[in-house]
Amino acid sequence: MTQGNGLDAIILTLNADDRLTEEHINSIKLLRALFGDDMMKYVTILFTRKDQLDLDKVSLADFLEEVFSYLKHLLIDCNNRVLAFDNRTNDANVKEQQTAELVRLIDKTRASNGNKPFTNDITRRVKEAVEEDRLCKYTGMDGAVRQADDIASGVNSEVIEKIVGFLVALIPVAITVAKIIIQFRK
């Protein structure tokens, strides 16, 4: 793992039981505007509700043949890294197999990117905010672990507020960039 130096993978989660809406598409375009098209080298599309596909006796490959053209292009852009999860299963073996498949795909993604994580200005700013917070509040060998636990549990919300603050400030810029990209691609 890259230990906080960037993102090893970006998991884009979509529901296999829902159609891709304009809101979904605009959200993806906004992410691409914020993070740049290089992010696609790290994206894996994870469809939930594989149980519905199974009930309909539709394989993931067959499902993907019938998807909207925007999604087909998105699959091409992420080098067809896609899988489906049955997130309703209670079968521990199925859960373990799905998790192992996702980890294998992340490892493959990392290897295809030269074991270098995805980084950009946003990931660097997040890392700086987390490191600054850790240096101020967390000492000792287990400081990073305690900090992660505190952030995950909500005890340390200050660093999250700082990160959200600069992300919110980027949204108008990202929307403008997304509009330009949309106009350019028309």
* Residue 107, phi then psi, degrees to nearest 5: -60, -40
Q: What is the pLDDT of residue 148?
A: 86
**Ranges of the chain whose pLDDT falls below 70:** 1-4, 173-174, 177-178, 181-186
The pLDDT assigned to 143 comes to 86
pLDDT of residue 85: 93
Angle (nearest 5°) at CA 72 between 67 and 73: 150
Domains of the chain: 10-112 (3.40.50.300), 121-185 (no CATH)
Are 70 and 20 within 8 A, CB to CB? yes
- On whether the CB atoms of residues 6 and 119 are closer than 8 A, the answer is yes
d(CA 55, CA 131): 47
Confidence at residue 4, expressed as pLDDT on a 0 to 100 scale: 64
At residue 182, the pLDDT reads 65
pLDDT in tens, 27-57: 888 888 888 889 999 999 999 999 888 888 9
Q: Provide the whole-model pTM.
A: 0.76
pLDDT for 84 equals 92
